[in-house]
Amino acid sequence: MRCWFKNWLCALALLVASSSLAEALTPVGQELNTLLMIVKNIRDYYIEEVSPDSLMHAGVRGLFYTLDPASEYTFSQQQNPGWRDSFDTFRQIALAVNDSFLYSTTPDSLVRFGIAGMLSILDPYTNFMENQNLDNFIIHTRGSYGGLGFRIQVIYPDSAIAVWALLHQDTPAARAGVKSGDLILAIDDSTTKHLSSGDAADRMRGEPGTPVTLTLERAGLPDPFKVTIIREVVQVRSVPYYTLFSDSTGYVKLDGFQQKCSQEVREALADLHQRGMKRLIFDLRGNGGGYLQEAVSVSELFLPPQKLVVYTAGRAIADTARYYTVAKPLVPDEPMVILVDGESASASEIVSGAIQDWDRGLILGMPTVGKGSVQQTMPIGDKAELKLTIAAYFTPSGRSIDKRMRKDSTLVGSPNKEFKTLVRCRIVHGGGGIVPDVYMESQERSLWKFLLNRQLFGGRTPNNRFFHFSRQYPVSHPGLSPDFRADTQTVREFREFAVERGFEYISDYEAWMKDLEKKAAEEKQADKLANSLQTLREEIDDIEETHWQNDQDMLTWKLTYDILEKGFGQKAAEAYRVSVDPQVLRARQILVDPKAYEEYFKKPEILLPPDPKLATAAPDSDSISGE
């Protein structure tokens, strides 16, 4: 295969011809073995057949685009090149680039550019993982790691590492007295200033039984202090919270489908049963999935034996399988509602799809992600893994809920075929995630509709006024109790706190006003428009004040949760959240009314409302019996 490059990169084409395959013994050649292993796995196991030349072209595009985004090139076409020929072509190009004086890059970086290019034409769930990414994936799926037991976040403008939340109270950090809201100034006397959260996490993780010393700053204490903690195997709990409401409705929150999560759910349900549970809310919101077998085991807690939960289909015979329930269910016939949202994916969709297809319960919330595929991790050398999509999965009715996205967010296909549930014969649709029986937006989604809130949170690098305020609040209010609820006075204090820290709310009107003032100054019309601009500014100030007032409910909810979490831990905060969560309240309202519950199963088809604004409104919390 010959290559022509449209710009100065054409010089590399001359080098390709002289690159010998014997150079595979060089560092770049050794790194290419990693790429070869990935290519072989894609060839043998990827869910769809991928042509060798398209994969090679994508790899070379990734290589050159990363080195020089302005580069352009084309390939001559060869009829049906084999995998070996395509890989040899890529290898020769990589060797030539490595030898060229035009670039200065390490062999491992060079090969990873090519790997990224190759994977870019596959689905978004196929990934090459190493270092921190691999560590985080292992923790997420296996549910354990050697460390201290809390989540961290970089906080600005301090550039400090903050203890964002304790995983639970039975962790080394919690037992050593570390609290949510503490700032980590140093790890083993090495400053955390300007560290990323990933680097800080790496320093704190390690072999169980080894010590690590943290220098902490705590609100209310005049000086930083040190605490030495012995690392342990920390179990990440899949069920962070469950409770029984006064109306005998149980609530279980499942965060992820890690190993042994089904056992955690079983234990929570058994406890709720013993306490008199008559109906259940199973919360899968924000649950991005995990192990397929755990999804089957969780479904088994609610479905009779010998019921199909999911089946998979891939190119390899080993990737095609059907999964049935085996044991008797722990919750066989109690009315149940599953909560889902736009972050419920994969294993969450398997469970909610099985429950919906067997008409075992109702789904409430928003459409799920639509990740209808199965991934298998494959070792690549000693310190890396390829997470490869090997099969599609289908719910018991036969529908695929996969949205079929590529890594660039291009929608490959979304077949909207009709299927029927297996008991009530309701029409359901494939190709767009799990559509809920009861459509209702989440409180968190509503929160972000407010521009004011987005500015208060400060985005992804959170100059987060809520964090700073909530860590100080228990100190400045020493009589605080777990029954605390934020009110207008709390919001007023928070607003003053935010302004003192330099916060300025800039509404769309304010932004337009600034542009208008700038334009008037440029055209020397500022004096002429001074009175009009002043009147307009006063009107805008009034409008912005109404924004603060309209956002009062959201602000009190957020402040209450954060202050309780910082002052009394996650359980106190979660107890408050579920007591006022509109979706939880709506689910309880449906469950305690057998007639209302049954009416949803009589609907002939499950569809999104034509206008989501007309969907189910949140019930008044007063309509639900108190806790």
Give pLDDT tens digits for 470-521.
999 999 999 999 999 999 999 999 999 988 988 888 888 888 888 998 998 9
Helix (H) or strand (E) holding 244: strand 241-244
Closest CA to 365 of 587, 606, 613, 619: 587
- Strand-pairing partners, residue 282, are 252, 338
**Cα 290 to Cα 476: distance, rounded to the nearest angstrom:** 42
Q: What share of the chain is helix, strand, coil (3-state, %, to 5)?
A: 45, 20, 40
Residue 116 lies in a domain: yes
Please report the pLDDT score of residue 402 as a whole number: 85
Average pLDDT, the chain: 83
Three-state DSSP class for residue 599: helix
- CB 625 within 8 Å of CB 363: no
Distance from C-alpha of 164 to C-alpha of 154, rounded to nearest angstrom: 9
Tokens of 123: 């689905």
Phi, psi of 320 (to 5 degrees): -110, 120
Statement to judge: residues 169 and 306 lie in one domain:
no
Residue type, 301: L
Catalytic residue among 180, 344, 346, 400: 346
83: tokens are 């995998």
Q: Where are the beta strands (DSSP E) in 295-417?
A: 308-314, 321-324, 336-340, 362-365, 373-379, 384-394
Note whether 275 and 343 are same-domain residues.
yes
Active site residue 328: no
Please tell me what DSSP assigns to residue 613: G
- What's the rounded mean pLDDT across residues 15-26? 38
Question: What stretch of H or E contains 279?
Answer: strand 279-283
183 strand-pairing partners: 162, 217
Residues 459, 430 share a domain: no
Question: Do 180 and 100 sit in the same domain of this protein?
Answer: no
Q: Is residue 230 part of a domain?
A: yes
User: Is 357 designated active site?
Assistant: yes
* Res 15: pLDDT: 34
- Residues 173, 267 within the same domain: no
Q: Among 446, 570, 548, which Cα is nearest to 503's?
A: 548
411 and 465 part of one domain: no
Residues 57-61, mean pLDDT to the nearest whole number: 79
What separation in angstroms does the CA of 577 have from each of 226, 358, 449, 581, 585? 33, 30, 19, 6, 11
Residue 349 CB: number of other CB atoms within 10 A? 28
Q: Higher confidence at residue 390 or residue 101?
A: 390
Q: Note whether residue 191 is domain-resident.
A: yes
Please pick, among 357, 551, 562, 581, the residue that the annotation labels catalytic.
357
- The answer to the question of residue 148 being in a domain is yes
Residues 299 and 418 in one domain: yes
Is residue 555, in this structure, part of any structural domain at all?
yes
For residues 561 and 573, is the Cβ–Cβ distance under 8 A?
yes
Strand partners, 337: 281, 362
Identify whether 255 is a catalytic site residue.
no
Q: Is residue 460 domain-shared with residue 361, that is, in the same domain? A: no
Domain count, the chain: 4
pLDDT tens track for 151-209: 998 887 667 899 999 988 899 999 999 999 999 999 999 999 888 888 899 899 988 99
Q: What is the pLDDT of residues 276-310, one digit of tens each?
A: 999 999 999 999 999 999 999 999 999 999 999 99
Q: Where are the beta strands (DSSP E) in 117-230?
A: 127-130, 144-147, 150-155, 160-166, 183-187, 190-191, 211-217, 225-230
Let me know if residue 10 belongs to a domain.
yes
Judge whether 56 lies within some domain. yes
Same domain, 226 and 77: no
Taking residues 463-468, report their average pLDDT: 80
- 39: domain range? 3-122
Nearest 10 degrees: CA dihedral of 230, 236, 237, 238?
A: 180
Catalytic residue, candidates 253, 307, 371, 403: 371
Strand pairing category for 211-217 and 225-230: antiparallel
Residue 153 and residue 116 share a domain: no
Contact in structure between 24 and 87 (CB atoms under 8 Å): no
Mean pLDDT, range 250-265, rounded to an integer: 96
Q: How confident is the model at residue 11 (pLDDT cuts 50, 70, 90)?
A: very low
Beta bridge mates, 339: 283, 364
Same-domain status, 292 and 429: yes
Query: If you ran DSSP here, which 8-state letter would residue 552 be given?
Result: H
Q: What are phi and psi of 192, to 5 degrees?
A: -95, 0
CB-based contact 338:284 (threshold 8 Å): yes
Residues 294 and 425 occupy one common structural domain: yes
In a domain, 137, yes or no: no
Query: For 550-601, what is each residue's pLDDT tens digit?
Result: 888 889 999 999 999 999 999 999 999 999 999 999 999 999 999 999 999 9
Q: How confident is the model at residue 141 (pLDDT cuts 50, 70, 90)?
A: low
